[in-house]
Amino acid sequence: MDQEDYEPLLDPDRHTRESPQNIYLKKVQNKNLYLATFAAVLGPLSFGFVLGYSSPAIADLKNADDPRLVLDKNAASWFGSIVTIGAAVGGVFGGWIVDRIGRKLSLMLCAVPFVLGFTLIISAQNVWMLFGGRFLNGLASGVTSLVVPVYISETSHSGVRGTLGSCVQLMVVTGILGSYIAGMILEWRWLAVFCSVPPIFMLILMCFMPETPRYLINQDKFSEALSALRFLRGPEADHEWEYRQIESSGDDQESSLRIAELRNPSIYKPFLIGIFLMVFQQFTGINAIMFYADTIFEEANFKNSSLASVIVGVIQVVFTAVAALIMDKAGRKVLLIISGITMAISATLFGVYFKITEIPVNNASRLLLPPTDLPPSPVDHLAWLALASMCLFITGFALGWGPIPWLVMSEIFPLRARGIASGVCVVTNWGCAFLVTKEFHDLMDYLTSYGTYWLFAGFCVLNVLFTVFYVPETKGKTLEQIERYFQQSQVPGTVGSFPNSVQ
Ligand code: BGC
């Protein structure tokens, strides 16, 4: 690494010492980078539509005109959860193709299972075709949730990487909300037609966007990498300077990861951080809480439960947007800590609500009943507590633990381990999502309902401790600096630190 590239220089205009990186960033124009990010995040938007689709579609399909398509309670639960299995498989597949055919092509390929999945649903003659369609949609979502964060972080620069990376989650929650709103107007087949539009746009727009410069350099396609940088940074920037920084990062001597290297702290440390971030995200209980949102709103006397889903969706979109806007100023760690504390408090309050109202264990299944079948509760006047806790919980999640695990996943792995390591993270995330949503009922029986929410609160406290002690702050650092941070931490007696010029 050419050390002087990171030494502060005298800024001729302001006579102050500035890092070459800051001087470089001043000349950068972000227009094309924003365009490339917009094209890529149509992927997460599609994946949000897939996640949100089940709620309005299940309501329609329970009373479908065609008896072959009617979903009973068990089939409805599979229709919702098979997406998580497809997405876990998509994580394995995505981790494999992203290093072989590249980030851009992998993303474009996702359009196929997205559209094919919805086509299968639209033309379904039996429930197996519905399940098949949902599985394909899940597969596409799994690949997308891996490829898009990587594409964005490898095309961005350190000044905006946090904000642009957070747009992944912003588009997921926008897609969920979009499905809920469209589902109030469209019946399930037309809703599926509507949901197929974003992946088609993504495919068309991505044709005009470049592959990431880092992937191209790793593939020895040097002139393509330079033109990708020229496109992304605009004509004024000294993109050859950035090219040299990436090229000399020291990671590209070996193009693929060997198993033996897993013993190397510069590999296993980020690997473990990524995996734990995903486990902790799911063990906050977010999906279980969102799943029962309708029932909780109904208990608080909100008669229109689809409106309840829309309210949850709006809270998520607004606070994820806030997180995206402040990500590069506040930093990842601070937001993760605030988010974890907010969720710990709200999950505890949730438990308090259940404890006070003392819904007996065998009655906890009240929560599993459709809202309209619920018997009146003697403690309805306390429903505001459940409602307030839930809104606070969703706000907390949106501010940190929603977007940041995906963002940090795309930042901390060395280039040649990025595909496989991100694949493992995606499988872990979706596997845990499946486990938590499927096991939630049993957990309520074993631990009582308040015990379950206090368990989630306990995990949120662990999230905070984990963040404080193990998650590095990546704000303002280039991917190459982050990589060197982990390399330094492998030398005995040294602690990884970021170069002074960017602190
Ligand atoms: C999580 C999903 C969750 C979604 C909700 C994502 O970051 O990985 O499991 O359903 O956020 O907003």
Provide the sign of the torsion angle of the four alpha carbons 360, 361, 364, 366, taken in this order: negative
Asked if residue 4 belongs to a domain, the reply is no
Domain end residue (candidates: 232, 254, 276):
254
Q: 209 and 135 in one domain? A: yes
Considering the domain boundaries, does residue 3 fall inside one? no
Per 3-state DSSP, the chain is made up of helix, strand and coil in percentages (nearest 5) of 80, 0, 20
Q: For residue 503, what pLDDT is reported?
A: 34
C-beta of residue 208 within 8 angstroms of C-beta of residue 200: no
How large is the average pLDDT for residues 411-415?
89
Instruction: Share the mean pLDDT of the chain.
Output: 85
Window from 70-74, 306-310, 312-316 with minimum mean pLDDT: 306-310
Q: What is the CATH number of the domain that holds 185?
A: 1.20.1250.20
150-159, 363-372, 405-414, 445-454: least confident range: 363-372
Task: For a ligand 1 pocket test, name from 281, 283, 292, 316 the mutation site with the most ligand atoms within 8 angstroms of its C-beta.
Answer: 281
What does DSSP assign to residue 16?
Answer: E
**Residue 181 identity:** I
Atom 3 in ligand 1: which residue has the minimum CA distance?
287
Q: How far is the CA of 158 from the centre of ligand 1 (A)?
A: 25
Supply the residue whose CA is at minimum distance from atom 12 of ligand 1. 173
Residues 230 and 342 in one domain: no
Question: Within this chain, do residues 26 and 154 fall inside the same structural domain, yes or no?
Answer: yes
Residues 231 and 349 in one domain: no
Is 495 part of a structural domain of the chain? Answer: yes
Position with higher pLDDT, 308 vs 38: 38
150 and 286 both lie in a single domain: no
Q: How many domains does the chain have?
A: 2
Same domain, 125 and 232: yes
Listed residues 235, 254, 273: the one ending a domain: 254
Check whether residue 246 and residue 309 sit in a common domain.
no
Q: Are residues 370 and 498 in the same domain?
A: yes
Ligand 1: lining residues by beta carbon, under 6 Å: 51, 169, 172-173, 281, 286-287, 316, 402, 429, 433
One domain, residues 175 and 297: no
229, 332: one domain: no
Quickly tell me which residue has 């990171």 as its tokens: 6
- Write the CA distances from 149 to 55, 119, 166, 418, integer angstroms: 26, 27, 9, 11
Q: Identify whether residues 241 and 272 lie together within a single domain.
A: no
Catalogue the long-range contacts made by 299-304 (C-beta closer than 8 Å, 24 or more residues apart). Answer: 299/371, 299/374, 299/377, 299/380, 299/383, 299/386, 300/383, 300/384, 300/386, 300/387, 301/380, 301/383
Which residue, by CA, sits nearest to atom 2 of ligand 1? Answer: 287
Question: Has residue 411 been placed in a domain?
Answer: yes
Best mutation site among 172, 278, 343, 409 for ligand 1 pocket (most ligand atoms within 8 Å of CB): 172
Whether 1 is covered by a domain: the verdict is: no
Count of beta carbons in the 10 Å neighbourhood of residue 62: 14
Distance CA 137, CA 241 (A): 41
Mean predicted confidence (pLDDT) in 14-32: 78
Tell me how far the alpha carbon of residue 402 lies from the centroid of ligand 1, in angstroms: 6
pLDDT tens track for 414-435: 887 888 899 999 999 999 998 8
Q: How many angstroms does the Cα of residue 405 sit away from the middle of ligand 1? A: 10
Flag whether 2 is in a domain: no
Which two structure tokens, joined as six digits, stand for 135?
């599985």
Q: How many CB atoms lie within 10 A of CB 265?
A: 17
Closest protein CA for atom 10 of ligand 1: 287
139 is in which domain, residue-wise? 9-254
- Residue 463 in any domain: the answer is yes
Instruction: Report whether pLDDT(362) > 60.
Output: no
Could you tell me what percent of the chain has a pLDDT over 90?
Answer: 55
**Taking residues 389-397, what's their average pLDDT?**
94
Is residue 237 located within the same domain as residue 342? Answer: no
The model's pLDDT over 94-133, given as tens digits with 9 standing for 90+, comes to: 999 999 999 999 999 999 999 999 999 999 999 999 999 9
Instruction: Please state the pTM of the whole predicted model.
Output: 0.85
For residue 278, which atom of ligand 1 is closest to its CA? 8
Residue 18 three-state SS: strand
CA angle 58, 59, 62 (to 5 degrees): 75
The 8-class DSSP code of residue 238 comes to -
Tell whether 468 is covered by a domain: yes
Q: What pLDDT shows up at residue 329?
A: 92
Q: Where does a domain end: 228, 254, 280?
A: 254
